[in-house]
Amino acid sequence: MALDRWIALIFFVICGVYGYTAFFLMDAGLPPFMQRNPIWPSTFPKVLAILGMICSLVILAGFEKSQKEPEAMDINYRRLTDYNLGQAVLLICLMILYAFSLRPIGFLVSTVLFLVMAAATLGERRFVVLIPVALIAAGSIWYLVQEVLGIFLRPWPMGF
């Protein structure tokens, strides 16, 4: 089974769970005065769940074949290991680390670390250039956001 049909199957399950919630669980806690309304919080989700399940079934059944020729620009997921998969996974991990570090160690430190480590992951080795660039970028963006736009960003680690 091709990837697109696996995905359709997953979406079918998601729509099913969503529909189950809408049909059987949501209305239980509905206050009596709302039950007299022609529309309930679950009405629209019920319609969506049914439509979503129909659509995913159509794709699963293969009624519609994509006639698109594989393009040179597209990435062939069957040969994913031929690409820089390791780098991509590392960068995604770095982004998650960045999300967790923003609050405890502050915007400036975590941003400089993120930019330097991400560039290093991609193969950049001229740290003499890289570190000043990251420092200037983090500093100027912090200044823009905090001072010009007036949005609070914690610059330093907690406790400073």
Partner 1 sequence: MLEGLMVGLSTAFSFTNILMIIGGCLIGTFIGMLPGLGPMSIIAIMIPVAIGIGDPSAALILLAGVYYGAIFGGSTSSILINAPGVASTVATSFDGYPLARQGKAGKALTIAAISSFSGGTLGAVLLLIFAPMLASVALLFHSSEYFALMVVGLSAIAAFAGSGQVFKALLMTIIGLIMSTVGEGALFNLPRFTGGIMDLQSGFGFITLAMAMFALPEAIYLVLDPKRSQQEDGSKTGEIKELRITREEARAILPVIGRQSVQGFLIGVLPGAGATIASFLGYAVERNIARKEEQEQIGEGSVKGLAAPETANNAACTGSFVPLLTLGIPGSGTTAILLGALIALNVSPGPRLMIDEPDIFWAVIISMYLGNLVLLILNLPLIPYIAKILAVPRNYLIPFILFFTLMGAYIGQNNATELLLLVGFGVIATILRFADYPLAPLLIGFILGRMLEDNFARAMQLYDGPAFLWERPMTTGLLLLACLLIFLPAYRARRARLRAEGVADAD
45 binds partner 1 (CB under 8 A): yes
Q: How far apart are CA 146 and CA 160, in angstroms?
A: 17
In terms of CB distance, is 123 or 159 closer to partner 1? 123
Q: What values do phi and psi take at 153, rounded to 5?
A: -135, 125
Q: What values do phi and psi take at 131, rounded to 5?
A: -65, -45
Amino acid at 143: Y
Query: What is the Cα gyration radius of the chain?
Result: 25
- State the nearest-atom distance from the C-beta of 126 to partner 1, in Å: 9
160 three-class SS? coil
Instruction: Give the binding site for partner 1 (CB under 8 A).
Output: 2-4, 6-8, 11, 14-15, 18, 21, 26, 34, 37-39, 41, 43-45, 48-49, 51-52, 55-56, 58-59, 63-68, 73, 75, 77, 80, 83-85, 87-88, 91-92, 95-96, 98-100, 102-103, 111, 114-115, 118-119, 122-124, 130, 133, 137, 141, 145, 149-153
